[in-house]
Amino acid sequence: MTPASAADPKRWWALAVIALAQLMVILDGTIVNIALPSAQRALGMPDADRQWVITAYTLAFGGLLLLGGRIADLVGRKRAFVIGLAGFAVASALGGAAAGPGTLFAARALQGAFAAVLAPSALSLLTTTFTDPRERAKAFGVYGALAGGGSGAGLLVGGLLTEYLNWRWCLYVNVPVALAALIGAQVFLRDRSGRRGGHLDVPGVLLGSGGLVALVYGFSEAGPRGWTSPWVAAPLMAGVLLLAAFVWWQHRAAGPLLPLRIFRDRSRAGAFATMGLATIGMFGVFLFLTYYFQAVLGYPPVRTGLAFMPVSVGIVIGATQIAARLLPRTAPHTLMASGMVLAAGGMVLLSRLTVHAQYVPHVLPGLLLVGLGMGLTFMPVYATATVGVPTQDTGAASAALTTVQQIGASLGTVLLNTIATGATGRHSRAHGPADSGTALAEAMVHGFSVAYWCSAGVLLLAALVAALTVRRGKPSQAGSKPSA
């Protein structure tokens, strides 16, 4: 055990606090989805505006992550963590009490902004708290399980709260969770101060955050408007140009928002690429299966949420019981590539679903394989991407990894939805008009099947990237040596 770990007897309680905060942020990405119809009816929200309940959160979260990571480096990880928790609680209470759509949209944007401060500080606190390889593997196993499985759990919690209380509790529930984490932070987290005397890279903030906001907005609008719409093409082009200018500026800035030295290590760069591809391939599953369970199999909201639980259970088992035990003596690229191949196999099983499929023999095996594969992958990705990062850059590195995950989720959902929609239309035209419920369901399931095959291809590409780029050494050798 390293001296750093030995000197911190409260480190496992600190992990519980960090995990609680991380779970809250991940849950909030999906917990509102099932509650959205109820919120729309209660607030008189037009159909054209309802997407902003989701988009306002993802725009602020994805666009401000780099800024949030650098704030954590400058003011201190614990201080940024506390600020993020407190702000997230206030924004959640504001959203739960919303009397109109505008207040709800603003509250969701505030949630995303404070989550952008909270998430990088949580991951960087984990990185600096656990330095012993075996303890680090266990801690990142828990973190990876929450990061991957929280989205599925959010659907279940959202369904339960909406059905048995009301939609407002999907936001109010964050307040007691955040308060508990705030108390725990004061008691158990060690204050690792940031770089005193540093300054914020304002041009980097404008270029980087502006580019990310433009990209996330363009991806979110591609679904309802189509890729050829100027409301999609213009933001995507602007996002690419702004991010290109951001990279150029980071080479020249004295105190860059995202130090590019973070990506010089091949294993770390490979872990980032693996995470991006994994989230692109994974996040379409939740969208398609939500429609499949409710529109094809006729499941109510709570049963739909329960049906997703095997994915979360598989991720927890894969991350905490398999990857965390194997990582101290297994090369990380082996776990990443194996996990991606396993998840791709699950996608292939899901591609065989029909309108008459039954849950246990036909759906469950694919969900378990996807969950186990993602758990095997996420845990070593988080550990490899953050090991060896200089202490003053841990917030920026954590923010960059979360940004890759957020952008991958947005891009994957839009791309796979476009593929599925196109395949559904072609099936309907080839088999005549869908003038019955069965014909429409068959066309929809065919579209999902095509998208699942594409997901499998993306996950196999992620396996190849991990195998070729992440070094053969143990995790403790995966990055450069930590600096003080």
The residue whose two tokens read 């942020």 is 25
- pLDDT bucket at 149, cuts 50 / 70 / 90: low
pLDDT (0 to 100) of residue 161: 84
Across 14-38, average pLDDT: 83
**pLDDT at residue 318 tops 80:** yes
Residues contacting residue 198 through CB under 8 Å, at least 6 positions apart: 73, 74, 255
Q: How far apart are CA 178 and CA 121, in angstroms?
A: 15
Cβ–Cβ under 8 Å, residues 409 and 403: no
Question: What is the pLDDT at residue 403?
Answer: 85
So what's the pLDDT on residue 95? 94
Number of H helices, E strands in the chain: 20, 0
Whether residue 150 contacts residue 31, with contact meaning beta carbons closer than 8 Å, is answered with no
Residue 388 neighbours by CB under 8 Å, 6+ apart = 265, 268, 478, 479, 480, 481, 482
**Which of 63-72, 175-184, 279-288, 386-395 ranks highest by mean pLDDT?**
175-184
CB atoms within 10 A of CB 457: 13
The predicted structure's pLDDT at residue 225: 78
Query: What pLDDT is attached to residue 70?
Result: 84
Cα(5)–Cα(380) distance, integer angstroms: 20
Model pLDDT, residue 473: 55
Given a cut of 80, whether residue 197 has pLDDT beyond it is no
Query: Can you tell me the mean pLDDT for 468-474?
Result: 74
**Contact between residue 158 and residue 34 where contact means Cβ atoms under 8 Å apart:** yes
**48 pLDDT more than 70:** no
Looking at residue 371, its pLDDT comes to 92
State the chain's mean pLDDT as an integer: 84
Region 354-382 average pLDDT: 93
Confidence class for position 35, pLDDT limits 50, 70, 90: confident
Predicted pLDDT of residue 3: 44
* Across 35-44, 148-157, 342-351, 395-404, least confident range: 148-157
* Number of residues that make up the chain: 484
Residue 148, Cβ density class (10 Å: 0-12 exposed, 13-18 middle, ≥19 buried): buried
Asked if pLDDT for residue 210 goes beyond 70, the answer is: yes
